[in-house]
Amino acid sequence: MAVRQVLKMGDPLLWQEAQPVTEFDTPVLHDLLTDMRDTMAELNGAGLAAPQIGVSLQVVIFGVQDNPRYPDAEVVPETVLINPRLSALSDLQDEAWEGCLSVPGMRGLVSRYLHLRYQGYDACGQVIDRSVSGFHARVVQHEVDHLYGVLYPMRIRDLRNFGYNEVLFPDRPPEIDD
Ligand code: NI
């Protein structure tokens, strides 16, 4: 299929609320997921939401294994998550630096729930129901935010904790940028 163009912050499509998927295991849905996987792999993303390529559906993908953009991250299984519902399993939150393919070259410090249950469906309509923590929980919260028109800079509490990657992290090799 194809690597698609990722919309950047400022594009009004990124502020829209995405619609639920009503038909699973269709050629259209599988083609969308192929494009999303190709695009995420090309850009070394940890995840991608359908609205980021201009498709306003409740579809996200994520997964982290040996990703040069996240060299120290724990492994997150490759997952397709459709029509997701999230619930925090405790009030505990932690802060960490996030990036986004729609906000290239930047990082921001964002607080997220540490322990999370997520439910939804895979591409064939099979139920997904997982309880996760840490980086895995963070990635899911970031991606699902995209389905509600929320980009991570909107969640930064102190905008002094938002900046250019090479300024914030000057020791990172230049090829590890987004
Ligand atoms: Ni993002």
Of the pLDDT bands very low, low, confident and very high (cuts 50, 70, 90), residue 177 is very low
pLDDT for 172: 73
pLDDT over 60 (residue 108): yes
pLDDT at 176: 46
Confidence band of 178 (pLDDT split at 50, 70, 90):
low
Q: Is 143 annotated as catalytic?
A: yes
Where in the chain are the domains? 12-171
- Please check whether residue 108 is in contact with residue 162, taking contact to mean a CB–CB distance below 8 angstroms: yes
Cα 50 to middle of ligand 1, angstroms? 10
- Cα-to-centroid distance, 61 and ligand 1 (Å): 11
Across 26-43, average pLDDT: 97
Which candidate, 93, 137, 94, places its Cα nearest to that of 118? 137
Percent above pLDDT 70 for the chain: 96
Kindly report the CATH class assigned to 12-171. Answer: alpha beta
